[in-house]
Amino acid sequence: ERVVAHLMLKGSSKLEDVMKKFAQERIAPLVSKMDENSAMDEAVIKDLFDQGLMGIEIDPQYGGTGASFFSSILVIEELAKVDPSVAVLCDIQNTLINTLFVKLGTEAQKECYLPRLSTEMVGSFCLSEAESGSDAFSLKTRAEKHKDYYIINGSKMWISNAEYAGVFLVMANVDPSAGYRGITCFIVDRDTEGLHIGRKENKLGLRASSTCPLNFDNVKVPESNILGKAGQGYKYAIGMLNEGRIGIAAQMVGLAQGCFDQTIPYVQQRVQFGKRIFDFQGMQHQISHVATQLEAARLLTYNAARLKEAGKPFIKEACMAKYFAAEVATLTTSKCIEWMGGVGFTKDYPIEKFYRDCKIGTIYEGTTNIQLTTISKFIDQEYNG
């Protein structure tokens, strides 16, 4: 069932206006420095919390904002226009961490974590390992059961937000003989003995977003820290990543748009051969093509978000949105550098950063190949009558 996304934006425009102003004034001045130093400015994280952007869908009774999933998508998009690294911090918190707690938490767990996640504590989602990326369920981190606690041993890799996280949601296997049906989601507090956060990766893009390896050395975790049910972790991971996918799509759309928005004014000003380079038909056609792809990516994203909100099946659409948006981000940023010419190639202009940032979109939270395979599974089913 198709949902017409754009027309449903009435009432959200205030949110966009406020987000634009906030992002421009509070985040934009810090972007370049954060990229160069590969470090998120703590003031930015505090601002995100103060603005109520880290607990968007959390109920106000727990200190959250109580807004919709679609609001999260809009926030992520607006943040990504200014800095995709900040956007991903906000995306992971809202679409992965908060959602897992809200959907699976016991009342005690919710009361313990949701207020902090809304107001001051960043969370991290730990699934990938050195030997298991796309093949997530072959993860090796082990959780051994003792009376009323578990001992976790193993390591995780590519964990976003790790530098600042106060809580980690760790997927570990309690029963390797059961294969993926042993995967369990554990809540692990940062200061738990045996948990070591490794040195952050030196990345091509999204540099201000910390990506670290984690080591679990006999980490003791009480049974009450299991989120949901033991052995169901694989289901929770898939479920959350299906939704998180839409958030990443929004991030890619915002990234592409932010890059585009900073490029067109230059193209309108730059004069060669006596006219604006915008006035050359070759340029116009390229620009229009990119703008159309961007609009299509946005609509795919909004549509997937609306389907999810309406409780309708949305997984195929979410995969399409994430796959397409990442491709569009790559196309847009690459073209923008070309349109800017020499200055596009320098770090004095923000364009090259968008180009470096976009690449991760085809890789994380499900590679493009995985998205395409998933989409084909749905098509196969649909045509089986």
Number of H helices, E strands in the chain: 12, 9
Q: Nearest approach, Cβ of 64 to another protein (angstroms)? A: 8
Report the residue number, 50 or 131, with the smaller CB distance to another protein: 50
Name the strand (E) or helix (H) holding 105.
Answer: none
Q: Nearest approach, Cβ of 50 to another protein (angstroms)? A: 7
Residue 169, φ and ψ in degrees, nearest 5: -95, 110
Residues 85 and 160: beta-carbon distance below 8 Å: no
Catalytic residue flag (residue 365)? yes
- Interface residues for another protein in 210-239 (CB under 8 A)? none
Q: Nearest approach, Cβ of 161 to another protein (angstroms)? A: 20
Report the residue number, 24 or 134, with the smaller CB distance to another protein: 24
- Rounded alpha-carbon distances, angstroms, from residue 73 to 18, 55, 301: 15, 13, 9
Residues 234 and 183: beta-carbon distance below 8 Å: yes
Q: Nearest approach, Cβ of 55 to another protein (angstroms)? A: 9
- Interface residues for another protein in 39-98 (CB under 8 A)? 50-53, 56, 60, 65-67, 71, 75
Residues 6+ apart with CB under 8 A from 239: 103
The residue annotated as part of the active site, out of 77, 243, 352, 365, is 365
Q: Nearest approach, Cβ of 47 to another protein (angstroms)? A: 9
Q: Nearest approach, Cβ of 20 to another protein (angstroms)? A: 10
Number of residues in contact with another protein, rule: CB under 8 A? 21
The binding track of 22-41 with respect to another protein, each residue x by CB under 8 A or -, is x--xx---------------
Residues 6+ apart with CB under 8 A from 97: 117, 123, 124, 125, 167, 169
Report the residue number, 64 or 244, with the smaller CB distance to another protein: 64
Report the residue number, 16 or 201, with the smaller CB distance to another protein: 16
Segment near another protein (CB under 8 A); pick from 13-21, 29-37, 145-153, 165-173: 13-21
Chosen residue from 4, 6, 9, 18 binding another protein by CB under 8 A: 18
Chosen residue from 4, 17, 312, 372 binding another protein by CB under 8 A: 17
Report the residue number, 75 or 249, with the smaller CB distance to another protein: 75
Residues 165 and 172: beta-carbon distance below 8 Å: no
Per-residue HEC secondary structure of 27-94 comes to HHHHHHHHHHHCCCCHHHHHHHHHCCCCCCCCCHHHCCCCCCHHHHHHHHHHHHHHCHHHHHHHHHHH
- Interface residues for another protein in 337-366 (CB under 8 A)? none
Residue 11 interacting with another protein (CB under 8 A): yes
Strands (E), 137-281: 142-146, 149-160, 165-173, 183-189, 195-197, 211-222, 271-272, 275-276
Which pair of structure tokens corresponds to residue 254?
């915002």
Name the strand (E) or helix (H) holding 228.
Answer: none
Report the residue number, 45 or 320, with the smaller CB distance to another protein: 45
Residues labelled as active-site residues? 365
What residues make contact with another protein under the rule CB under 8 A? 11, 13-15, 17-18, 21-22, 25-26, 50-53, 56, 60, 65-67, 71, 75
